[in-house]
Chains A and B, each alone.
Chain A
């Protein structure tokens, strides 16, 4: 799957969780900017796992490396490859 598709899927999942990310900087931390709370973010991560049938290694992943739209897309692309 190419990275553009992954981005589309991730955007779709945010939309399904009623989080509007159309107008945010894709390099801003979603958490620090208060765009979503931690529980919502966790639910979105789990939804991404399910949708793409992947498993994110939460034990070892640096959470800082997945809190922006861009970094999240990158990280998920790496896992799917």
Chain B
């Protein structure tokens, strides 16, 4: 079944059940169905084809109906992000080729900058915003969601459901279209492992431009569960939100877990209601993972892994408080085995499949996108055939340990220093073991050159009185000299990007 059919089926079946809780209000499946279908009808009224539709919103009921409505129209959605710089949002609009935009201006800061920078777009907005917007922005055509009795266009399995952009190394984002086949395969594989019922409550704390949001939104609406969106303040400390709403399913980035640990919230048995917690998006430190196992005693826990190019995630590793840490895990939780419908393997530099040692993680199967929509060079470089199978080269490194895949950092974190091949990950791992160090990132210098001479370590510490000579001497005990950073910069805070990962570009800028 494709996502359009799944949604229409849920809308019929779950009627008065709650579909969404956001900004302190509940909305039923009937309410969601009514607005989504009107939005779908209005999209098809403006242009009766399957097409890209831009979403300008973040958490509101209208924004969620906009996502559903686009899919019900047989079209695909492209979210913008209010925290992106204007230039990046403009780039996404341009690259998407969309001419229709769905806007809830109360749900998207600085929307006016964007509307002033584009012209002649067809904008569908809530009825109560129409008068204000159409008088203020005379450079656009405004519509409100209405019934026009258009026949829906049926989505086919290869039609896109959404398109997301990942940062390209040249600064131009790369667009990835995810099809009905891709996302249906993800959902079927996930539901086969983890049950979700219409009594469940899924928390969705990720930006719409990050595909972890898609996991929660679609699994919730397809299974008839209720989707809970914490406001941005509650995202810092989701503790109370989880307990008071009796949340059952959560997908979070490990940084959120790190914050909960810092705030002393991971006490034994505090999250009794939770049945499932998945971690995705960055390395999950083993010791933090064990703390959550004790805090959520009834939860099934999974570390899941995958790039946007392969639809949200495509490997999983189930763990519990008794999971034993092996030295080969390098301090992190393994990423495990492939989802149903997917294959994962490791290759060496000559594209040969290897079963021992460190190799690049390669993915193949139903969840793979077809390539980047606007970057043929990168598509050819990353989407290749191995053994006559369509594969995606992730650029991530891994190793098999007892049949489970262990993630070992980015391939491009491998650099040449003074002629030696150096894994930045290995150095960061060594630094993280030093007492008093909270987080760290190692950047090869001079930045933006091809050959590097030295390494700079950015660190955050618990106690300000840190002696960098001491760090050097500790590192020298485990690392060869050429791997020991020569410069140490103590930061008050590690800069994070919108997905909660360490922002290496910001660190590089500090060195320029």
Binding site for B on A (CB under 8 A): 16-18, 29, 31-32, 34, 37-43, 45-46, 58-64, 67
Taking a contact as CB atoms under 8 Å apart, the answer to whether B255 and A39 are in contact is yes
B102 to chain A, nearest CB (A): 22
Contact with A along B247-288 (1 / 0, CB 8 A): 000000001001100111101001000000000000000000
Taking a contact as CB atoms under 8 Å apart, the answer to whether A63 and B493 are in contact is no
A62 contacts which chain B residues (CB < 8 A)? 240
Taking a contact as CB atoms under 8 Å apart, the answer to whether B233 and A31 are in contact is yes
Q: Can you list 26 residue pairs at the A/B interface with Cβ under 8 Å?
A: A18-B492, A31-B236, A32-B231, A34-B83, A37-B493, A38-B236, A38-B259, A39-B255, A39-B493, A39-B494, A39-B496, A39-B500, A40-B492, A42-B259, A42-B262, A42-B263, A43-B262, A43-B493, A45-B263, A58-B239, A58-B265, A59-B265, A59-B270, A62-B240, A63-B233, A64-B233
B411 CB–A CB distance under 8 Å: no
Q: Which residue of A lies closest to B270 (CB)?
A: A59
B119 CB–A CB distance under 8 Å: no
Cα of A16 to Cα of B265 in the assembled complex, Å: 25
B232 contacts which chain A residues (CB < 8 A)? 29, 31-32
Take A16-B492, A59-B265 as given contacts and tell me if A38 and B235 are in contact as well, using a CB distance cutoff of 8 Å.
yes
B237 CB–A CB distance under 8 Å: yes
B240 to chain A, nearest CB (A): 7
Number of chain B residues close to chain A: CB under 8 A: 26
B491 to chain A, nearest CB (A): 9
Contact of A58 among B83, B233, B264, B500 (CB under 8 A): B264
Taking a contact as CB atoms under 8 Å apart, the answer to whether A41 and B236 are in contact is yes
Taking a contact as CB atoms under 8 Å apart, the answer to whether A59 and B239 are in contact is yes
Cα of A20 to Cα of B240 in the assembled complex, Å: 29
Contact of A63 among B234, B492, B494, B500 (CB under 8 A): B234
Taking a contact as CB atoms under 8 Å apart, the answer to whether A58 and B237 are in contact is yes
Contact with A along B75-95 (1 / 0, CB 8 A): 000000001000000000000
Instruction: From B236, B265, B492, name the one whose CB has the most chain A CB atoms within 10 angstroms.
Output: B236
Cα of A59 to Cα of B262 in the assembled complex, Å: 12
Task: Please count the residue pairs between chain A and chain B whose beta carbons lie under 8 angstroms apart in the complex.
Answer: 64
Cα of A64 to Cα of B83 in the assembled complex, Å: 20
Cα of A54 to Cα of B259 in the assembled complex, Å: 19
B237 contacts which chain A residues (CB < 8 A)? 58, 61, 63
Contact of B236 among A18, A34, A42, A59 (CB under 8 A): A42
Taking a contact as CB atoms under 8 Å apart, the answer to whether A67 and B233 are in contact is yes
Instruction: From B255, B492, B496, name the one whose CB has the most chain A CB atoms within 10 angstroms.
Output: B492
Cα of A59 to Cα of B237 in the assembled complex, Å: 9
B270 contacts which chain A residues (CB < 8 A)? 59
Take A63-B240, A64-B233 as given contacts and tell me if A17 and B265 are in contact as well, using a CB distance cutoff of 8 Å.
no
B426 to chain A, nearest CB (A): 24
A37 contacts which chain B residues (CB < 8 A)? 493, 496
Taking a contact as CB atoms under 8 Å apart, the answer to whether A46 and B240 are in contact is no
Cα of A58 to Cα of B258 in the assembled complex, Å: 14
B339 to chain A, nearest CB (A): 30
A38 to chain B, nearest CB (A): 4
Q: Which residue of A lies closest to B230 (CB)?
A: A63
Cα of A70 to Cα of B251 in the assembled complex, Å: 33
Cα of A61 to Cα of B239 in the assembled complex, Å: 10
Cα of A63 to Cα of B83 in the assembled complex, Å: 21
Q: Which residue of A lies closest to B464 (CB)?
A: A16
B476 to chain A, nearest CB (A): 29
B263 contacts which chain A residues (CB < 8 A)? 42, 45, 58
A60 contacts which chain B residues (CB < 8 A)? 240
Query: 8 shortest A-B CB distances, which residue pairs?
Result: A58-B263, A40-B493, A63-B237, A17-B492, A38-B236, A64-B233, A67-B233, A32-B232
Take A58-B263, A58-B265 as given contacts and tell me if A32 and B233 are in contact as well, using a CB distance cutoff of 8 Å.
yes
- CB-CB contacts below 8 Å: B8-32 with A: none
Cα of A62 to Cα of B267 in the assembled complex, Å: 18
- CB-CB contacts below 8 Å: B365-380 with A: none
A45 contacts which chain B residues (CB < 8 A)? 263
Cα of A40 to Cα of B492 in the assembled complex, Å: 8
Contact of A29 among B233, B255, B259, B265 (CB under 8 A): B233
A61 to chain B, nearest CB (A): 8
Taking a contact as CB atoms under 8 Å apart, the answer to whether B492 and A43 are in contact is yes
Q: Which residue of A lies closest to B237 (CB)?
A: A63
Cα of A6 to Cα of B334 in the assembled complex, Å: 45
- CB-CB contacts below 8 Å: B262-321 with A: 262-265, 267, 270
A42 contacts which chain B residues (CB < 8 A)? 236, 259, 262-263
Cα of A46 to Cα of B236 in the assembled complex, Å: 13
